[in-house]
């Protein structure tokens, strides 16, 4: 039995229906109801003030989750926020009715927030004023601890011995009122997060990885909001088929037109016009609405007015001067794609091959994914432009310059020094 499972089996854990079985072969227990029932959805200032007071008076870490309406609505805003804390119970908050939760965020200042896959929820929480100073990410903890499956359901089942019902994870959370089964699911998502955190902390400590995890959590909590992506239209699915600059211009015009419509209607862009249809139009360069209608994605169910707006976007792209057409590919700010290294710089290609093999072997020894040990981009950058004298100090400085955490630098530096010094000379 792992330390995580031993912790889970401790009868003092705050679990529903008694402690999970201490025999890992015993069938997991379905978790069907929150221990305190389904709480009412907080949707007014007076109720929110009561929740803030209750959570400020609670003790220990606070479990936090957020539900979005990805695939249904424009953007990634939160449509439900769930919290649970010892002494405070569980709260379900409607951030549409209560769009400013900064008071709650301030009440929890300095408290450790327990989230699963924190980087997914922190942006939408930040938008409503909830910004943690300390976090514990149970998904990332699972990765560092070597768990093969790190979804919340798999972790709760494997570590705590309970089965979470996950049937509502992809529903339209902008629906109002939210159906009771969805609210039950949402409450259960934070029911055992702190218990899971406690078990994983003990497992990480046993493996000597707890300090590594703390560094990773601190890096996530202190990271600034990401910069807006440049030329987001280039990420259109199927873009690899588009070769000519004029066709790329059609993708850009259709993408931007779709984005304006989606933003105005507050719907997912994919519900306005699919990526496949955009690429289809770019490749065909239709001469008129009739030709556009014949393409996949622009069928008979699309109204004349919609077809005309898409054809207008195509026509705008076709009318551009050559100097106004987008350039093929984005500006390269780092090393070229690895597939080009052998031709451009054979010595660098040899360094990268040796470094990848060394990092892979080390990750296997440490029982964690390679990308959590050190990002592939960092390895590529160090191998493409290595220090003039690749010793321990210079390689460590290079890794730090690319954002590696101290624990990563300590683990990876020795194997990278070997890889950089053992590869064939230029």
pTM for the whole structure: 0.89
Taking residues 157-161, report their average pLDDT.
95
Q: Could you confirm whether domain 29-222 is CATH 3.30.420.10?
A: yes
What stretch(es) of the chain map to CATH 3.30.420.10? 29-222
pLDDT digits (tens, 9 = 90+) for 80-93: 999 999 999 999 99
Residue 195 confidence (pLDDT) above 60: yes
Question: Can the peptide bond before residue 177 be classed as cis, meaning omega within 30 degrees of 0?
Answer: yes
Burial of 160 (0-12, 13-18, 19+ CB in 10 A): buried
What stretch(es) of the chain map to CATH 1.10.150.80? 232-319, 338-421
Of all residues in the chain, the percent with pLDDT exceeding 90 is 86
Residue 25 confidence (pLDDT) above 70: no
89: left (phi over 0), alpha (psi -120 to 50) or beta: left
**Which one has a higher pLDDT value, 422 or 416?**
416
Which segments of 83-228 does DSSP mark as H helices, in order? Answer: 102-107, 118-127, 138-145, 152-155, 180-191, 193-207, 210-222
Residue 2 confidence (pLDDT) above 70: no
Overall CATH class of domain 338-421: mainly alpha
What are 104's two structure tokens? 């709650």
Query: What would be the CATH architecture of the domain defined by 232-319?
Result: Orthogonal Bundle (1.10)
> Using 50, 70 and 90 to split pLDDT, how confident is the model at 424?
low
> Using 50, 70 and 90 to split pLDDT, how confident is the model at 412?
very high
């Amino acid at each position: 039995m792992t330390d995580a499972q031993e912790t889970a089996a401790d009868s003092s854990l705050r679990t529903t229906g008694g402690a999970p079985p201490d025999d890992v072969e015993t069938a997991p227990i379905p978790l069907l109801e929150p221990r305190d029932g389904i709480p009412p959805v907080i949707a007014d200032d007076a109720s929110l003030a009561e929740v803030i007071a209750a959570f400020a008076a609670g003790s220990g870490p606070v479990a936090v989750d957020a539900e979005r309406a990805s695939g249904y609505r424009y953007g990634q805003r939160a449509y439900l926020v769930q919290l649970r804390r010892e002494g405070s119970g569980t709260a379900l908050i409607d951030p549409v009715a209560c769009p400013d939760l900064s008071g709650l965020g301030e009440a929890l200042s300095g408290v450790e927030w327990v989230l699963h896959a924190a980087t997914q929820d922190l942006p939408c929480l930040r938008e409503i004023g909830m910004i943690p100073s300390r976090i514990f990410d149970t998904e990332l903890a699972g990765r560092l601890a070597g768990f093969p499956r790190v979804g919340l359901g798999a972790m709760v089942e494997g570590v705590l011995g309970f089965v979470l019902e996950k049937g509502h994870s992809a529903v339209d959370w902008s629906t109002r009122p939210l159906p009771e089964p969805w609210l039950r699911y949402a409450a259960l998502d934070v029911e055992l997060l702190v218990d899971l955190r406690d078990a994983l902390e003990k497992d990480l400590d046993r493996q000597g990885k707890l300090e590594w995890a703390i560094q990773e959590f601190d890096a996530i909590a202190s990271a600034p909001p990401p910069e807006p992506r440049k030329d987001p239209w280039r990420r259109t699915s199927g873009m690899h088929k588009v070769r000519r600059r004029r066709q790329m211009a059609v993708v850009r015009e259709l993408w931007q037109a779709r984005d304006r419509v989606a933003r105005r209607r507050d719907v997912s862009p994919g519900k306005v016009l699919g990526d496949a249809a955009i690429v289809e139009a770019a490749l065909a360069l239709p001469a008129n609405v009739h030709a556009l209608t014949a393409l996949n994605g622009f069928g008979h169910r699309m109204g004349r007015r919609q077809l005309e707006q898409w054809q207008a976007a195509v026509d705008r792209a076709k009318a551009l001067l050559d100097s106004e057409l987008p350039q093929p590919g984005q500006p390269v700010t780092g090393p070229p794609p690895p597939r080009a290294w052998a031709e451009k710089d054979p010595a660098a290609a040899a360094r990268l091959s040796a470094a990848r093999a060394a990092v892979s072997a080390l990750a296997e020894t440490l029982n964690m994914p390679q990308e959590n040990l050190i990002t592939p981009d960092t390895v590529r950058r160090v191998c493409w432009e290595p220090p003039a004298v690749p010793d321990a100090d210079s390689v460590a400085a290079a890794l730090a310059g690319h954002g590696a955490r101290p624990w990563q630098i300590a683990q990876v530096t020795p194997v990278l020094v070997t890889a950089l010094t053992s590869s064939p000379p230029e």
